[in-house]
Amino acid sequence: MSKGKVLLIGSNATRIEVQGGGTGATGQYLNETVVPAMAVIAAGYEVVLVTPDGTKPHIDEASDSVDHFGGDKAAYDRAKAFYANDPSMNRPRTLRSVIEEGLDNYAGVFVPGGQAPVVDLMQDPDTGIVLRHFHERAKPTALLCHGPIAVVSAMPHAREFRAALIAGDAAKAAERAKGWQYAGYNMTVFSNTEEKVVEDYILHAKLYFNMVDALTIAGGAVSTTNVDFEPNVIEDRELITGQNPRSDHPIAAKFVAALDRAAAAA
């Protein structure tokens, strides 16, 4: 018997804006999606995949590699098979449909990374509704790598905040962030130096803003590791954030523990 249902909010973005005009290829990271989802299911919960438009997220080709599974070919193959075949990954729903059905049925919410959430989820009104619901009820809310940028969607003027960041107007962005539910929370996100690696070697272009800067301007208490791509997970109240792809297993463990604590307290 299931312990409860957990929302996994995926992105539908496949391109991200870059400086100088144009876009670069993007998507959701395979390990960041699958490792936590498999851990949640193994712990006895159901996973319900939701996206803004109700279609399955595109996996970023940069993440489709055994390297993101510690070189473990068997783990990589299991992840690929899980994403391709498991019912939880192949019955995506719209965010709007689960909102209309009622969010009280869900025990927690998880948002994986890849740069895709920077495009849609951080300014998506339905993502904001979901995150506000979980925040107000102090239900486990976990976000990984670029995923933590999705918490911006909870602010009253998320789209204007993002537009101000793209315009390079930090003061205007800070003004638009007023009333943000997560101001003052300790959190982490993909670091500026980690982002430079992706910009230099994968995107071959620069993004308009870094995740650390964005969440700091919004009012978050952001910290990252001194060494790039070292696992790092920060838990503050209901919010659990992981810094980078290598934080996949640690954030999965902390998220499951938080779900179990919440279930025991209910």
The domain segmentation of the chain, as residue ranges, is: 5-265
CA dist 157 and 171 (Å) reads: 14
Write the DSSP assignment of 177-199 as a string of letters: TTT-TTTT-EE--S-HHHHHHHI
Regions of the chain with pLDDT less than 50? none
**pLDDT computed for residue 262 by the predictor:** 96
**pLDDT computed for residue 266 by the predictor:** 84
Contact (Cβ atoms closer than 8 angstroms) between residue 92 and residue 55: yes
Q: State which fold the 5-265 domain adopts.
A: Rossmann fold (3.40.50)
**pLDDT computed for residue 62 by the predictor:** 95
Alpha-carbon distances of 50 from 13, 118, 148, 159, rounded to whole Å: 13, 17, 17, 20
Write the DSSP assignment of 30-83 as a string of letters: HHHHHHHHHHHHHTT-EEEEEESSSSPPPBPGGG-SGGGGTT-HHHHHHHHHHH
CA dist 74 and 214 (Å) reads: 37
Convert the pLDDT of each residue in 22-59 to its tens digit.
Answer: 999 999 999 999 999 999 999 999 999 999 999 999 99
Strand pairing category for 93-94 and 46-51: parallel
Strand pairing category for 15-17 and 23-25: antiparallel
Q: What count of Cα atoms within 13 Å lies in the side-chain half-sphere of residue 74? A: 0
The pair of structure tokens assigned to 54 is: 């109700």
